[in-house]
Amino acid sequence: MDVSDILAAHEAKQKAVLVEKDIPLEVDSGFLTVTDLNTIDAESYEADLEEHLISTARDGVQTLIASLFSLPTTSSPDGPLAQLPPPTTQLPRAKPLPKPKPPTKWEQFAKAKGIQNKRRDKKVWDEEKQEWVNRWGWKGANKDKEVQWLTEVPANADVDYDPAKAARDERKARVVKNEKQHRANLARAEASSSSSDRKRDIDRTLAVTRTSTASLGKFDRKLEGEKPLKGVKRKFEPTEISASQEKSQNLAILSKLGKGPMTKKSEKSSQSSGGEVLNVRKAIRTVSKGKGSAALARGGSTKGKKGKR
Amino acid sequence: MLRIVKPKNARSKRALQAREAKEVEDPRVAIFVRGTHAGEKVTAVMKELMALKRPNAVSFSKKNLVRPFEDASSLEFWAKKNDAGMFVVGQTTKKRPDGLTFVRMFDYRVLDMCEVGVEGWKSMADFKTPKATPGHKPLLHFASELFDTHPRFIQLKSILMDFFNGEVIDAIHLAGLEHVISVSLGPTPASLNATTSTLQASSSTAAPAEDLASLPAVHIRSYTIRLLASGARVPRVELTPMGPSLDLRLRRHTTADPEMMKQALRRPKLRKQEVEKGLGKKRKNMEVDEMGDLRGRIHVGKQDLGKLQTRKMKGLKPGRDEEMADEDEEDGDAFGAEGDEEEDGGRRKKRRTA
């Protein structure tokens, strides 16, 4: 059997829909976008601009359509829908990413106890009326006790006991309680989100303002019960330490010296890893007289100032 | 500054909720603002752009004294008021004739801006061809290597993508693809070929004039798509000019503040459904934890405790068991006399003898 004809016919069909370029086109199906990174051919651009634009656009769109038609589809009433992959290009958002809502007190409790969230329908079935009625609200089922024409009264009830009023008071009390809980949840959410940062910020601002007068706060009028400002407590290492400890401290300084100037990040990581060694940054500053580790590594030049110490 | 509104009824509450930040955002609403003097050309271009952007477009019909590169406060106010994420400001001056400024917002503040000058344009009405249905999503096509290398054009591409097609969707009806917006550049000048790597994103107005003039022109064209049967699964595409067509030149710009950009590029954590989404079939016993890792539960069947390896002791060696078996029978009588251990005697005896 000779299949060359069939193959040739297939090839011809493919030719019409295939696009060949030096650099393959970049397709972002998520945003329905294709980018053609080939250089613009100046000759065809000069010759006929519109023709050039439409032909490059056609090639790009052909590639994009080919990739869109190869996506998996799902059926819908209007016809097949192509499932798009998430976009690869990152576009900036218009609004910041929403923060997850902090759980309410009930949600915390339910989670701790493993209680599944059950959705309560807004409507309940009324056996007597044989229809669906609202659980609350207009003609709500929670008002049944208040509107029924006959109510059982307990034997020990007061003379002026009004069962409808009692039921209504009870319902209103539930509403008030719920509102109170709702408010408490909101307050808790507010507090958990930013309070600690805010308190620290306020304290710091206050401390700065108190020392920001000409006398550094010395002659300011004190309020009653105002506590004196706490400064930074300074800690000193003991002057006499064991030889091994001293050795390890000095070695720690030496090991830091070759590394060049410290960045914020490395500083943070070194503090978290070996916090107990000593304040290396400060030690370097003292030894190099504030010139940094680079100056110390160069050495020699500090000779002249030695006597000043 | 707008006052903080507390909703008093359900309708205004819903309206406020619709404005809140969402994980997957709606497309940006673009406001078309005319400057102190827009001019015929720019007004018409803005009208055409609005036709493409509809229904996410708001038009300000009055003139406004607004200079986005000098004072963005009124843009920020309008963004807040209209819940808009983008602005197109048209302004014509003697120094910068027929200018269009695209302004992108983040959190109601200006993220970045790009000004282009309209050099030539052709209206939609000038093309006597069928038009795309308003509101349909366009395809986008960008042609030039500068969209990958030159910071100005990277920004322009990002802004135009946001303008025309910034919405993340998960499915599309292929028959509804009706038009394409093609953005191509002029030939890359020789000066840009070699120096693109060293070229920095120079901020705003400081860009020297000859630098701007050397940047290639931007051609925006829109075409309707015709899908023709090709015999293969993929149809053959033919394009018909639809209009509008614009020839633009880049002018001033501002880049985004890196910190703000970082905030704007934050992605939500990978959604559970996305990772779980296999090839259309439901997968049992799999779940995705908070880190986005897929965790599976497997059933390992019932364990045979008889084969369980307990602590190894000399006396429990299987080899010795058989050896002992015959000895047990001999000793059996002797121990049996001491206590009544007839049933389990065998095992205990073994231990004692060991």
pLDDT > 90 in chain A, percent: 31
Query: Nearest CA to CA, how far is A12 from chain B (Å)?
Result: 10
Tell me the DSSP string of B90-123: EE--SSSTTEEEEEEEETTEEEEEEEEEEEEEE-
Q: Are residues A69 and A131 in the same domain?
A: no
What count of Cα atoms within 13 Å lies in the side-chain half-sphere of residue A250?
7
User: Would you give the end-to-end CA distance of chain B in angstroms?
Assistant: 92
Q: What is the mean pLDDT of residues A94-115?
A: 88
Shared domain for A109 and A175, answered yes or no, is yes
CA distance A158 to A170: 17
Q: Is residue A248 part of a domain?
A: yes
What CA–CA distance (Å, rounded) separates A171 from A169? 5
Cα separation of B241 and A49, whole Å? 13
Q: Tell me whether residue A177 is in a domain.
A: yes
Over residues A274-296, mean pLDDT: 73
Provide the shortest C-alpha distance from residue A41 to chain B (in Å): 6
CB-nearest to A53 from B28, B165, B219 is B219
Identify whether residues A109 and A186 lie together within a single domain: yes
Domain that holds residue B92: 26-257
Residue at A230 is within a domain? no
pLDDT for residue A281: 77
Question: What are the chain A neighbours of B28 within 8 Å (beta carbons)?
Answer: 94
Whether A200 is covered by a domain: the verdict is no
Q: Which of the residue ranges A50-54, A246-250, B337-341 would you say has the lowest mean pLDDT? A: B337-341
The band of A272, judged by pLDDT with boundaries at 50, 70 and 90, is very low
Q: Is the pLDDT of residue B144 over 80?
A: yes
ipTM of the complex: 0.72
B27 to each of A82, A85, B57, B106, B157, how far by Cα in Å? 20, 18, 10, 13, 16
CA B74/CA B33 separation, integer angstroms: 11
Q: Is B126 in the A-facing interface, judged by CB distances under 8 Å?
A: no
Residue B80 · residue B107 · CB < 8 Å: no
Domain co-membership, A252 together with A186:
no
Verify that A43 and A109 share a domain, yes or no.
no
Contact A60 B221 (CB under 8 A): no
Q: Considering only A232-246, B63-77, B81-95, which range has the smallest mean pLDDT? A: A232-246
User: Taking a contact as any Cβ pair under 8 Å apart, which residues of chain B between 58 and 87 contact chain A?
Assistant: 85-86
| CB-based contact A33 B237, cutoff 8 Å | no
Tell me which of A198-207, B2-11, B206-215 is least confident: B206-215
| Number of residues in chain A | 309
Instruction: Calculate the CA B288 to chain-centre distance.
Output: 21
pLDDT value of position B270: 64
**Percent of chain A scored above 70 by pLDDT?**
87
Instruction: Output the pLDDT for position B269.
Output: 75
Per-residue model confidence (pLDDT) at position B95: 93
**Residue B249: which H helix or E strand, with range?**
strand B245-254
B148 in any annotated domain: yes
Please list, in sequence order, all residues whose beta carbon lies within 8 angstroms of the beta carbon of residue B84, skipping any fewer than 6 positions away.
B28, B29, B30, B31, B58, B78, B105
Looking at the structure of chain A, the number of domains it has is: 3
Mean pLDDT, residues B84-109 taken together? 94
| Residue A184 falls inside a structural domain | yes
B180 pLDDT more than 70: yes
Q: Using CA atoms, how far apart are residues A57 and A52, in angstroms rounded to an integer?
A: 9
β-partners of residue B112 are: B104
Which member of B106, B184, B185 has the closest CB to residue A93? B106
Task: Give the nearest chain B residue to A70 (CA atoms).
Answer: B234
Residue A214 in any domain: the answer is: no
What pLDDT was estimated at residue A257?
Answer: 82
What is the rounded average pLDDT for all residues in chain B? Answer: 82
What integer pLDDT is reported at residue A268 of this predicted model?
54
pLDDT greater than 90 at residue B213: no
Q: Rounded distance, CA B294 to CA A26, Å? A: 30
**Worst-scoring range by mean pLDDT, A9-23, A123-137, A167-181, B144-158?**
A9-23
| φ, ψ dihedrals at B249, nearest 5° | -130, 140
Task: Give helix then strand counts, H and E, for chain A.
Answer: 10, 6
Residue A81: inside a domain: no
* Residue B227 near chain A (CB below 8 Å): yes
Q: B147: phi > 0 → left, psi -120 to 50 → alpha, else beta; which?
A: alpha
Q: Do B165 and A32 meet the contact criterion of CB atoms below 8 Å apart? A: yes
B103 burial level (CB within 10 Å; 0-12, 13-18, 19+):
buried
Q: What are the residues whose beta carbons fall under 8 Å from the beta carbon of B157, sequence distance 6 or more? A: A35, B142, B147, B183
Pairs across A and B, CB distance < 8 A: 202
Q: Cβ contacts of residue B227 below 8 Å, gap of 6+?
A: A65, B235, B236, B237
Q: Is residue B92 part of a domain?
A: yes
* A61 & A109 share domain: no
B285 sits in which H/E element? none
CATH of the domain at B111: 3.40.50.10480
Position B13 in a domain: no
* Residues spanned by the domain of A291: 243-268+276-298
- Residue with the bigger pLDDT between A7 and B153: it is B153
pLDDT of A5 over the 60 cut: yes
Residue A53 domain-assigned?
A: yes
In a domain, B267, yes or no: no
Rounded CA separation A101/A188 (Å): 11
B42 in a domain, yes or no?
Answer: yes
Q: Is residue B270 part of a domain?
A: no
Tell me how far apart the terminal alpha carbons of chain A are, to the nearest angstrom.
101
pLDDT tens digit string along B309-328? Answer: 888 888 777 765 555 555 55
What SS3 state is found at A43?
helix
**Domain count of the fold of chain B:** 1
Average pLDDT, chain A: 83
Mean pLDDT of B205-222: 76
For residue B217, being part of any structural domain is answered with yes
Q: Do A64 and B139 touch (CB under 8 A)?
A: yes
pLDDT tier for residue B206 given thresholds of 50, 70 and 90: very low
- Residue B63 above 90 pLDDT? yes
Does residue A304 have a pLDDT over 80? no
**Chain B residue nearest residue A94, CA to CA:** B106
Return d(Cα A267, Cα A285) in angstroms, integer: 14
Q: Which of B25, B221, B263 is opposite residue A53, by nearest beta carbon?
A: B221
Q: How confident is the model at residue B347 (pLDDT cuts 50, 70, 90)?
A: very low
Residue A264 — pLDDT band, cuts 50, 70, 90?
Answer: low
The predicted model gives B252-267 an average pLDDT of: 92
